[in-house]
């Protein structure tokens, strides 16, 4: 692992610590309050705060997971750095696309 990838992976991990805690707290809150999908969407639609929060979460998770997958591939498969890196970039972009789609559905649709 290069120094640059190490710093990006640790930085995104540190960023996700509060994001995950808030995410889980929101899940508990919504389920304990018995909120329906319509209740939740009425609060999230058009919200810049929720769009920013989950947008940041998606970006951090995509970068963090892609670097991790690259490491797994270089250590556990026969792929060398370059090919593993390409695979990891594609994987990260796929995660980002799925995440952005979910954020769009909850905030903008």
Partner 1 sequence: MLGNLSVSLWRGGKDGRYESYHVPRRASQTVLDVVTFVQRHIDPTLSYRFACRVGVCGSCAMTVNGKPRWTCRTHVAKVAGSGRLEIGPLENLPVIKDLATDMEAFFEKWQKAQGVFAPSKTRHEEIEQIRPDSPARRLADAAIECINCGVCYAACDTVRWNQDYLGPAALTRAWTLLNDQRDAGGAARLQAVAAPGGCHSCHSHQSCQELCPQALNPTAAIAGLKRRTTAAYLKGEIKA
- The site for partner 1 (CB under 8 A) is made up of 1-7, 10, 74-76, 81
- How far separated are the first and last CA of the chain, in Å rounded? 40
Query: Of the two residues 86 and 108, which places its CB atom closer to partner 1 in the complex?
Result: 86
Q: Report the interhelical angle of 48-76 vs 81-107 (nearest 10°).
A: 160
Query: Of the two residues 69 and 103, which places its CB atom closer to partner 1 in the complex?
Result: 69
Query: Of the two residues 47 and 71, which places its CB atom closer to partner 1 in the complex?
Result: 71
34: its two tokens: 């018995």
Q: Rounded to the nearest whole angstrom, what is the least distance from the CB of residue 92 to partner 1 in the complex?
A: 18
Q: How far apart are CA 2 and CA 9, in angstroms?
A: 11
Q: Rounded to the nearest whole angstrom, what is the least distance from the CB of residue 10 to partner 1 in the complex?
A: 7
């Amino acid at each position: 692992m290069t120094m640059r990838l190490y710093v990006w992976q640790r930085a995104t991990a540190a960023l996700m610590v509060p994001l995950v805690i808030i995410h889980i707290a929101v899940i508990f809150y919504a389920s304990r309050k018995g909120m329906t999908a319509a209740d939740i969407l009425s609060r999230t639609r058009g919200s810049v705060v929720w769009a920013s929060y989950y947008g940041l979460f998606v970006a951090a998770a995509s970068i963090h997971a892609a670097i991790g997958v690259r490491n797994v591939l270089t250590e556990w498969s026969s792929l060398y750095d370059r090919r593993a890196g390409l695979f990891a970039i594609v994987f990260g972009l796929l995660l980002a696309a799925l995440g952005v789609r979910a954020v769009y559905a909850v905030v903008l649709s």
